[in-house]
Amino acid sequence: MPNTGFLPATREELRERGITEPDFVYVIGDAYVDHPSFGPAVIGRVLESHGYTVAMLSQPDWRRPESIQVYGEPRLAFLVSSGNMDSMVNHYSVSKKRRRTDAYTPGGVMGKRPDRADIVYSNLIRSVYRHTPIILGGIEASLRRLAHYDYWSDSFKRSLLLDSGADLISYGMGERSIVEIADALASGIAVQDLTFVDGTVYKSSRKEDIYDAIFLPDYESMRAEKRLYAESFAIQQKNADPIRGKRLAEAYSDHTFIVQNPPAKPLTQEEMDEVYDLPYKRAVHPACLARGEVPAFSEIIFSLTSCRGCFGACSFCALTFHQGRIIQARSQESLIREAEAMVQDPDFKGYIHDVGGPTADFRHPACEKQEKHGACPERQCLFPKPCPNLKADHGEYISLLRKLRALPGVKKVFIRSGIRFDYVLADPKADVFLRELCEHHVSGQLKVAPEHVSDRVLSHMGKPSRGVYEAFCRKYKKMNERLGKKQYLVPYLMSSHPGSTLKEAVELAEYCRDLGYMPEQVQDFYPTPSTLSTCMYYTGLDPRTMQPVYVPKNPHEKAMQRALIQYRDPKNRDLVREALEKSGRTDLIGFGPKCLIRPERGQEGPKSQKSFSGASGRKKKTIRNVHKKKS
């Protein structure tokens, strides 16, 4: 019988289970949360279900070698993951300022994991256990599996496998590859001979041993010429599919090669159900909880992961490179079982916070041929327009939502992971889904992600044109009016993405003005490793076309672009004025209804007077009263 408690996370728990030598020691940068939304818990439970013992080592002190020796040397290997989040993104804002809290650490305490955690943990292990296999996994390793641009050091980095001293990277979601790795190691195969596992990256010292591979430009050449990296990234994108993808190789010297095997095959629905039906405690391990609540866990404890993968393929999103474009979904029965267990939690108040994944309303592959032939390497499913083969159908998702909200004890089911508005519009029965959404799954506001309104910027983002979003806005408004509801759209907006000049930033500000909306938060584009947008940021080229793209990098310009979106905030006034002057849009400085800011006192020129005279009589009176009070 499998153990129904937590995976052992202390020496005492190992002894209680009679384990003297665990098969794997799993070093993680997060608190140990035994929940299927946390990658280390999933990998640990999957290994356990295949008969392996796993000891969880959460947030060891990387400054003390003895902290890595808590359980001694594992029988098969050390597993290493920075956690659910990239350690550098976890630690630093886009302006490279240190964050104050860590949502994946007990009490939200910052500083319990190192920068570049995979490298630091692996080097710490290697300093003590020189020959024990080390397997890297998780988002940090997955996105650094080949040569990549590193935003925080503003440099072109080698594959993480070389700098960490580890033996293998298990990239992507990892359930298939980790079991195959475990079985191979248990059978006596040396880790250096594990060159055949899909979903892994390994090192080779001999070019002639690398078979059936596409050789990418070598590292030194890419470092010397950015265009070569753009070409390499385009090849990587076309081979990120588990069915069509080819083996890739990257040379670092005559005797050092990094080889990426094709991605692991997607899990079937039955396999997905098995993974999520494993005996998770759905709680923070007591040893971690003793140090405080884990903020990230409170955000997802009453949410359901219904799918993984995303064929939306936004340029700035790393999930395409990590999870792939082919949707893998759980069955309705599996999700209902988890929801029924959720209802029994004494802290459950009747609200399921989310039913989704990277994109909530993707519940099946984009088209029938994807399951046999994979995603098209030269065509996107939704960009620039929905593919004619796209199967846009919300029927099964509607059925799932109805069953969930009918469960005893469930008051409301929300959808917080977001819907693709262009996918909704592509559905011939869009009104059926919109009615269901507005009537039952929105509470005042629906968050959507148009990201920008300039078609030029949107094309670089891999997002639909402005007209598509505006068509969705009209449909959403009309449906709410029909239902007698006052519900609004809250758009996520991004500043300083490649392709955005001050001109496009002003266009976005004008859109916010006309909408009567000023977002409380604006996301500056964050160049995280291995996204299409980050490749643009580094090389100044769009890898899809190899055409030059404007990249705002100057911190002051980026501050101006961000300030324009929040032009109503008084503290942004000087930046907005400077941006308008530099972009030749001083017509937006004045007293007219279309102006973003007023001129400084004593500087009202002819343009200002013209705007002033165009205002209504009531507006003139208000402005005169304001000036009178100031004087």
Burial pattern 338-376, b for ≥16 Cβ within 10 A else e, equals bbeebeeeeebeeebbbbbbbbbbbbbbbbeebeeebbb
Looking at residue 619, its pLDDT comes to 37
Distance CA 566, CA 523 (A): 11
Displacement of CA 365 from its chain's centroid (Å): 19
Distances in Å between the alpha carbon of 159 and those of 148, 201, 413, 538? 7, 10, 42, 17
Distance CA 452, CA 316 (A): 13
Residue with structure tokens 């080819």? 246
Distance CA 571, CA 597 (A): 12
Q: Are 37 and 305 in contact (CB under 8 A)?
A: yes
Residue 387 one-letter amino acid: C
Distances in Å between the alpha carbon of 45 and those of 26, 53, 171, 471, 483? 12, 9, 18, 45, 45
Query: For 99, which DSSP code?
Result: P
Tell me the pTM: 0.92
The runs of H, that is alpha helices, within 484-572 are 502-515, 532-539, 555-565
Distance CA 77, CA 320 (A): 29
Looking at residue 602, its pLDDT comes to 62
Looking at residue 622, its pLDDT comes to 34
Closest CA to 488 of 466, 465, 464, 515: 515
Looking at residue 625, its pLDDT comes to 38
H-run or E-run covering 493: strand 488-495
Per DSSP, the three-state class of 259 is strand
Which phi and psi (to 5°) does residue 414 adopt? -100, 160
Distances in Å between the alpha carbon of 23 and those of 50, 122, 132, 141, 287? 12, 17, 12, 22, 21
Looking at residue 418, its pLDDT comes to 87
Closest CA to 391 of 418, 369, 421: 369
132: Cβ contacts below 8 Å, ≥ 6 apart: 73, 74, 77, 78, 125
Residue with structure tokens 């069955």? 331
Low-confidence spans in the chain with pLDDT less than 70: 1-4, 602-631
Looking at residue 598, its pLDDT comes to 94
For residue 483, what are its two tokens?
Answer: 């239902």
Question: Where do the domains of the chain lie?
Answer: 11-260
Please count the other Cβ atoms lying within 10 Å of the Cβ belonging to residue 488: 13
Residue 118 one-letter amino acid: D
Start-to-end CA distance of the chain, whole Å, equals 82
Which phi and psi (to 5°) does residue 597 adopt? -135, 160
Distance CA 539, CA 301 (A): 40
Q: Are 122 and 136 in contact (CB under 8 A)?
A: yes
Residue 457 one-letter amino acid: V
